């Protein structure tokens, strides 16, 4: 182990220095494995941050994309794009919602959701619409989405923030009621079904159902950011489906294109006709290459039964981690192992960013979020054997780390 290795290194004099980067560069991948430019192999438990649904170099995705680039990469939304219609109908069928707007990224999907909520209000005569958002939420890094984000580090230096947000704690229906009591300007409630960047914090099933009921009662839009937890990651298409509810607005991105940038806002009847031509748009949104990636991702997930795989391998991984870290869980140095399917967080009692480099040194890619949470969001093709390898590398690293003096 190279304790002297800096945690992050600048990449080049010309790429803007916006990321703390690990001192490796990846060159190619296959399945859940990637290799760096020096030929070292890594097991990928991060999947490009919940993006590489089908893993790396999946033959079906590669073939579909190769075929698509010889036909059309991009046209424009001045014309009909049949692949948009195909992907929209696939998303509608699997969500039980009705309509889809396509864009390219998560923040763009969330911006569309925020615009929908505001116009929903304006259409009802609410001049200063307000949207309920959550502590520890992450919705992106544009000015509006960072304002909706509940992390002061993301917001610092970028004020003035966008107004019109009311912030509440997660999983507390009384706090939500109290914060909105008698306020006629509320138009929407907006949250992640499982907070990702905030530390893998799931919304409770009862809470999801209570908020759904409250939104119906008050004529608010329920907007669930499934950018990270959606697209099969938890073992259902969308994480909120575990609670048996439907949102009115659901932003998607990350896993939807299995690595090709694809974003979408899927909406139900209450939000389907808020936008009219001219209200919103995106140059790249829904282009044929992106749509082909989305269609192929969903089709392949079904052909390979990846929802079941995410659920079963995820449950196996969680149980194996709980077993390997049983002593640490008992002593409280590991506070909790939470999440569902292949979206898991191991919450330690101390900041653990140093583990990311140590895992790299041992051939494993992970991330640490919210300072203390080791996050695992591997490709949904992960096998039981690969899950066991993750545990075999990670559990000893965590145990050793927790024994060191703070």
Ligand X SMILES: *Cc1c(COP(=O)(O)O)cnc(C)c1O
| Residues at the site binding ligand X, with contacts judged by CB under 6 A | 105-107, 110, 138-140, 192, 196-197, 225, 227-228, 253-254
Q: Both tokens of residue 85? A: 């219609």
Residue with the shortest CB distance to ligand X: 106
Closest CA to 359 of 369, 348, 347, 368: 368
Q: How far, in Å, CA of 29 to CA of 367, rounded? A: 18
138 is annotated as an active-site residue = yes
The answer to whether 71 and 84 have CB atoms below 8 angstroms apart is: no
Identify the bridge partners of residue 340 per DSSP, sorted by sequence position: 343
Q: How far, in Å, CA of 383 to CA of 335, rounded? A: 27
The answer to whether 189 and 250 have CB atoms below 8 angstroms apart is: no
The answer to whether 239 and 254 have CB atoms below 8 angstroms apart is: no
Residues 6+ apart with CB under 8 A from 15: none
The distance of closest approach from Cβ of residue 325 to ligand X in the complex, given in angstroms and rounded to an integer, is 25
DSSP string, 6-68: -S-----SSS-S-S---S--EEEEEBTEEEETT--EEEESSHHHHT-TT-BS-HHHHHHHHHH
Q: How far, in Å, CA of 367 to CA of 375, rounded? A: 5
The answer to whether 6 and 23 have CB atoms below 8 angstroms apart is: yes
Complete edge-to-edge strand list for the sheet that includes strand 364-365 = 26-30, 33-36, 41-44, 364-365
225 is annotated as an active-site residue = yes
Q: Give the number of other Cβ atoms within 10 Å of residue 361's Cβ.
A: 14
Q: Looking at beta carbons only, is 139 or 270 nearer to ligand X?
A: 139
DSSP string, 342-380: TEEEEEESS--THHHHHHHHTTEE-EEETTTEEEE---T
The answer to whether 215 and 225 have CB atoms below 8 angstroms apart is: no
Q: Which of 119, 254, 270, 318 is catalytic?
A: 254
Q: Looking at beta carbons only, is 130 or 197 nearer to ligand X?
A: 197
Q: Both tokens of residue 25? A: 């560069």
Q: How far, in Å, CA of 202 to CA of 28, rounded? A: 33
The distance of closest approach from Cβ of residue 374 to ligand X in the complex, given in angstroms and rounded to an integer, is 16
Our measurement of the distance from residue 284's CA atom to the centroid of its chain's CA atoms, rounded to an integer in Å, reads 21
The distance of closest approach from Cβ of residue 107 to ligand X in the complex, given in angstroms and rounded to an integer, is 3
Q: Give the number of other Cβ atoms within 10 Å of residue 304's Cβ.
A: 15
The answer to whether 32 and 379 have CB atoms below 8 angstroms apart is: yes
Q: Which positions are annotated as active-site residues?
A: 138, 225, 254
């Amino acid at each position: 182990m190279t304790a002297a290795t800096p945690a992050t290194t600048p990449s080049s004099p010309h790429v803007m220095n916006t990321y703390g980067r690990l001192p490796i560069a990846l060159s190619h991948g296959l399945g859940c494995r990637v290799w760096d430019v020096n030929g070292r192999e890594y097991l990928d438990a991060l999947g490009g941050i919940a993006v590489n649904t089908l893993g790396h170099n999946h033959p079906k995705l590669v073939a579909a994309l190769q075929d698509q680039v010889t036909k059309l990469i991009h046209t424009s939304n001045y014309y009909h794009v049949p692949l948009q219609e195909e992907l929209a109908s696939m998303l509608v069928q699997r969500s039980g919602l009705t309509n889809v707007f396509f864009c390219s990224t998560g923040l763009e999907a969330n911006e569309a959701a925020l615009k929908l909520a505001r116009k929903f209000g304006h259409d009802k005569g609410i001049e200063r619409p307000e949207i309920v958002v959550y502590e520890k939420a992450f919705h992106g890094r544009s000015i509006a989405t960072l304002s909706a984000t509940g992390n002061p580090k993301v917001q610092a230096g970028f004020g003035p923030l966008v107004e019109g947000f009311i912030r509440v704690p997660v999983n507390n229906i009384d706090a939500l009621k109290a914060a909105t009591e008698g306020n006629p300007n509320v138009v929407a409630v907006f949250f992640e079904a499982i907070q990702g960047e905030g530390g893998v914090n799931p919304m409770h099933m009862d809470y999801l159902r209570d908020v759904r009921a409250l939104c119906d009662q008050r004529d608010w839009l329920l907007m669930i950011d499934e950018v990270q937890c959606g697209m099969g990651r938890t073992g259902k298409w969308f994480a909120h489906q575990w609670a048996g509810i439907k949102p009115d607005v659901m932003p998607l991105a990350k896993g939807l294109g299995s690595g090709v940038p694809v974003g979408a806002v899927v909406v139900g009847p209450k939000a389907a006709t808020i936008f009219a031509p001219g209200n919103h748009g995106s140059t790249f949104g829904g282009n044929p290459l992106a749509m082909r990636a989305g269609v192929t991702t969903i089709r392949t997930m079904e052909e390979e039964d990846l929802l079941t795989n995410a659920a079963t391998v995820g449950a196996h991984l969680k149980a194996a981690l709980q077993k390997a870290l049983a002593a640490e869980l008992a002593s409280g140095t590991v506070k909790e192992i939470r999440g569902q399917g292949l979206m898991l967080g191991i919450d330690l009692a101390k900041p653990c960013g140093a583990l990311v480099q140590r895992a790299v040194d041992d051939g494993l890619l992970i991330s640490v979020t919210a300072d203390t949470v080791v996050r695992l969001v591997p490709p949904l093709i992960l096998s039981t054997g690969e899950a066991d390898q993750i545990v075999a590398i990670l559990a000893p690293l965590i145990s050793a780390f927790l024994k060191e003096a703070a």
